[in-house]
């Protein structure tokens, strides 16, 4: 092709058609420039396609991490709600100055501590990649920031609450012999009945626990977790679902 154009130029010069030669030369330059721009455009398109594919891979991994987090949050929400409802019943007994063995027994679940450990592997990888900046100013970027800020808030609230539980539980360990309490919770029913310990003795220990300051504070604080931790759990779940929706829009876009 180059030889073909060169031959045309030579013929024009030989025939002394300088004007036509200049026009032809300019046309040839224009064609070369157009060809270069087309090649550059194709290269840019290929690069953008490659970057989009890699970004989508990061986002797909992030989506999977958040789906795992939501499963954990669902479990935590159910367990917290159960504990809160049990604690509310026992709290009413405190206020009504009554004792109910079953309510006190179930309220022991307020001693259970939980920890949310969100999977941040995909988010960390995205932060260390050159692609996070491409999300700046997007709804997805704002949601991601909100999500990990919320999970951090939850972790701090859980840490504070669990330390509170540990301190009061340690104090109660010196005030009440919990041998019968633990035996009732963990020992096989028939095995417990075969011992010399009576049901009345067991209930008396639970009654003593019911009246202890440490137990009452733990149960009352468990009720407060409805707003302190349970609401943030639900907020984090909602943000996570919105992130998944936004990622689907980006990944599925042509």
Residue 11: pLDDT band with limits 50, 70, 90: low
- Angstrom distance (rounded) from CA 221 to CA 227: 11
pLDDT in tens, 119-142: 999 999 999 988 888 888 899 999
The mean pLDDT value of the chain amounts to 84
Is the Cα dihedral 230, 249, 128, 146 positive or negative? negative
> Is 206 within a domain?
no
> Is 132 within a domain?
yes
Residue 10: pLDDT band with limits 50, 70, 90: low
pLDDT in tens, 16-27: 555 554 555 566
Question: How large is the average pLDDT for residues 61-82?
Answer: 96
> Is 199 within a domain?
no
The helix or strand, by DSSP H or E, that contains position 218, with its residue range, turns out to be: helix 213-225
**Alpha-carbon separation of residue 7 from 1, 2, 22, 161 (angstroms):** 10, 9, 15, 87
DSSP class per residue in 71-107: HHHHHHHHHHHHHHHHHHHHHHHHHHT---HHHHHHH
Q: Are 111 and 165 in contact (CB under 8 A)?
A: yes
Task: Determine the pLDDT at residue 45.
Answer: 54
> Is 158 within a domain?
yes
Q: Is the pLDDT of residue 214 over 50?
A: yes
Q: What's the DSSP call for residue 110?
A: G
Question: How large is the average pLDDT for residues 245-252?
Answer: 91
- Angstrom distance (rounded) from CA 129 to CA 112: 39
| Vertex 147: Cα angle to 142 and 151 (nearest 5) | 150
> Is 202 within a domain?
no
Domain that holds residue 227: 2-176+212-252
> Is 122 within a domain?
yes
pLDDT in tens, 37-50: 665 565 555 556 67
> Is 198 within a domain?
no
Residue 99: pLDDT band with limits 50, 70, 90: very high
CB-based contacts of 242, cutoff 8 Å, min separation 6: 143
> Is 184 within a domain?
no
- The tally of domains found in the chain comes to 1
Stated pTM of the model: 0.77
Question: How large is the average pLDDT for residues 47-54?
Answer: 73
């Amino acid at each position: 092709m180059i030889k073909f154009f060169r031959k045309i130029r030579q013929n024009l010069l030989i025939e002394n058609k300088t004007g036509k030669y200049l026009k032809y030369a300019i046309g040839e330059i224009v064609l070369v420039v157009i060809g270069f721009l087309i090649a550059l455009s194709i290269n840019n398109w290929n690069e953008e396609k490659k970057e989009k594919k890699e970004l989508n891979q990061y986002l797909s991994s992030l989506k999977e991490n958040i789906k795992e987090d939501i499963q954990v949050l669902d479990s935590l929400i159910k367990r917290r709600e159960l504990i809160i409802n049990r604690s509310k019943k026992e709290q009413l007994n405190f206020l009504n100055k009554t004792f109910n063995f079953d309510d006190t027994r179930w309220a022991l679940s307020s001693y259970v501590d939980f920890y949310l450990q969100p999977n941040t592997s995909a988010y960390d990888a995205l932060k260390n990649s050159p692609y996070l900046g491409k999300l700046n100013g997007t709804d997805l970027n704002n949601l991601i920031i909100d999500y990990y800020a919320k999970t951090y808030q939850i972790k701090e609230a859980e840490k504070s609450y669990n330390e509170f539980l540990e301190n009061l539980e340690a104090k109660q360990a010196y005030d009440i012999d919990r041998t019968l309490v633990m035996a009732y919770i963990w020992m096989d029913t028939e095995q417990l009945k075969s011992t010399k310990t009576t049901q009345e003795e067991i209930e008396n220990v639970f009654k003593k626990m019911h009246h202890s300051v440490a137990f009452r504070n733990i149960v009352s604080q468990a009720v407060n977790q409805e707003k302190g931790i349970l609401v943030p759990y639900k907020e984090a779940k909602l943000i996570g679902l919105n992130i998944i929706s936004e990622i689907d829009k980006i990944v599925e876009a042509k």
